[in-house]
Amino acid sequence: MRSQRELSIDEIASIPFFNDLPDEYLEILSKMLEVYYYEKNRYIFKEGEIQDSMFFIIAGSVIVLKNNGNNHPEQLAQLDAPQVIGEMALISPGTRSASIMSISPVTIVRFSCASFEKIIKMKPILAVNMLRKAGETVSNRLRKTNIAYIKAVNDKH
């Protein structure tokens, strides 16, 4: 459920993705970020949906679910606040690679790709900063996945 409240600069600065930005940029973002509340066991987004936003979990926990091919979702990870999800939307158009479901009541901040397009035109340096952070998030998650995969392979032998 979407809230009508606007985030304060301090609230935005408390999101790790934005914590090193000057107030000028936080002010711009305050007009573009939307707050949503989800009850337990609600999908934030589903695998296969069009990527049109990235999200920041500011309270609560979610799980990452991936369809295993038998139309049965498997849990890949649990993510607890503060955390970014759906960051691939900024990097590459397409569809969601996994589903995200709340496992507790969650407060999420949505940042749309349309807002990102506005930032590219208004403040290119801010856009580059955000792309770098999104890329860093993807890279860190890929490293963790690789480590888990190697461990699983070694455990089988």
- Measured CA to CA, the distance from residue 107 to residue 61 in angstroms comes to 9
Residue 67 lies in a domain: yes
Residue 4 lies in a domain: no
Residue 2 lies in a domain: no
| pTM metric for this prediction | 0.85
Q: Has residue 109 got a pLDDT over 90?
A: yes
Query: How many alpha carbons fall within 13 Å on the CB side of residue 157?
Result: 6
Q: Which domain holds residue 129?
A: 9-156
Q: How many domains does the chain have?
A: 1
Q: Has residue 117 got a pLDDT over 90?
A: yes
CA distance readout (Å), 52 to 22, 69, 110, 152: 26, 24, 10, 34
Residue 136 lies in a domain: yes
**CB 63, CB 75: distance < 8 Å:** yes
Q: What is the pLDDT of residue 116?
A: 95
Q: Which of the 8 DSSP states describes residue 49?
A: S
DSSP β-ladder status, 53-59 and 83-85: antiparallel
Residue 151 lies in a domain: yes
* Residues 42-63: tens digit of each pLDDT: 999 999 999 999 999 999 999 9
- CATH, residue 147: 2.60.120.10
Residue 118 lies in a domain: yes
Residue 3 lies in a domain: no
